Structure 1
Amino acid sequence: MMKDALISAALDARANAYAPYSRFHVGAALRCEGVIYSGCNVENAAYPQGSCAEAGAISAMILAGGRQIDAIVIVGGGEAACTPCGGCRQRLREFSSSAMPVTMVNAQGTVLLETTLGDLLPWSFGPENLA
């Protein structure tokens, strides 16, 4: 099942996160045309310079030539769903539709929340607004 592969890739990415300050490790894995791309959060002593797991996964997809996200899984720590920050919601919107599935899992891979990007970012502004 493709969702299981996304969960596994997100968990693997989280294991490589660099979070020495917050100790809050995050992994993300997205699917684009059947290919999985993953990313992890990378903190920096100058806090605004860090990057989110979702941004890393999107960068990997873009580097490989992908442009359309079909689904994403995000894993954080604890039992609360690690939802994408506002900036990442907009980054995801750039490369997906409001119907794109977003799944949040815990560190054991248990699904905590399944929703759509449209539910996370209603009335979004996307590329078609500029067409």
Structure 2
Amino acid sequence: MRSYHPDSPDAAGRILALTMIVDGKLAVSEIAAMDSSKILDHIDLDLPGFQRMLQELCDDLLSSRPADAIQLDDALLDRVLAEIAHPDLRRRLLQAMWHIADADDWLADAEAVLLTRASNAWSAERNFAGATARSA
């Protein structure tokens, strides 16, 4: 799996793309949810750039695993999530991830694992509320 600069549009876009495909299918409602969240504007990524990120993610996953067994292990998820360090970006991405995962009215096990892993990794290092209070 390729690496991206920390807090870059590509790193953030990949996490959004992962949220959409982690359950094994890409739903139109998830794309609409991402669009309505305006997260792409916040991370400075346009729709063609996001589509490129989605394709790169799929290419990486297919090239690194047997075609019949695409699974994300904890170490891989941790590496992808670690590319987002800024507390505000983490908070906004997590909100968008929940919005996307909930868009089809079904929280698949793989989506729940990703959301839990992101919540634990990001809030464990810098508590969202605590980091904001300390910086004020």
**Greater percentage in helix:** 2
Give the TM-score range, shorter chain: 0.3 to 0.5
Superposition TM-score, scaled by structure 1 size = 0.32
TM-score by length of 2: 0.31
Flag the structure with higher strand content: 1
